[in-house]
Structure 1
Amino acid sequence: MMLTVEEAYAAMFRYLEKYYERTHTDDVGALLGDLQFDGEGKPFDPAAWEDWIKAIMSVKQELETP
């Protein structure tokens, strides 16, 4: 199954949400606050989206490098 960048972000967010529900870790709670989408569909912390795209590009590059 292939996910779009947005779907993968939502999956990562859901994973962290479930982790937070189990642990109530303050750091994860703060991270979720930054990663949460605003009314325009972007994270409250604009740098979070940039970091997400960079992470995707980095992983893709690693997977494509022999």
Structure 2
Amino acid sequence: MEDKITIKEAYVAMYAYLERLYDMTGSNDLGGFLGSMSLLEDGTPAEPGVWNEWMRAVQQARNGQIDLTLELPDE
């Protein structure tokens, strides 16, 4: 497997992952979000703001601004 993928390939991978979650949960919220993420014939998302937010997230990840650390509350 290659170490690098394009931004569009990452978007498609995220969509596929969320679609699997939707299949498992049937969440209406997730289903609605997937609809807004779906691509139109010209390759743009059904909801234009989705791509802008995706690019913002990509930039934050590239800049090391995303903290994935799980923080459990003290008991």
Does TM-score exceed 0.5, indicating one fold? yes
Point out which structure has higher relative CO (alpha carbons under 8 A, 6+ apart). Answer: 1
| Unmatched 5+ stretches in structure 2 | 66-75
Aligned counterpart for 2:13 among listed residues 5, 11, 14: 11
SS in 2 for 1:41: coil
> CA offsets per residue over residues 6-26 of structure 1, 9 Å max, x none?
000000000000000010001
Aligned counterpart for 1:32 among listed residues 9, 34, 51: 34
SS in 1 for 2:14: helix
Q: Name the % identity.
A: 33
Q: Specify the alignment match of 1:61 in structure 2.
A: 63
Which of these two proteins has the greater Rg computed from alpha carbons? 2
Scaled by the length of structure 2, the TM-score of the pair is 0.81
SS in 2 for 1:62: coil
| Unmatched 5+ stretches in structure 1 | none
**Deviation >6 Å, runs of 4+:** none
Q: Specify the alignment match of 1:44 in structure 2.
A: 46
Q: Specify the alignment match of 2:24 in structure 1.
A: 22
Scaled by the length of structure 1, the TM-score of the pair is 0.92
SS in 2 for 1:18: helix
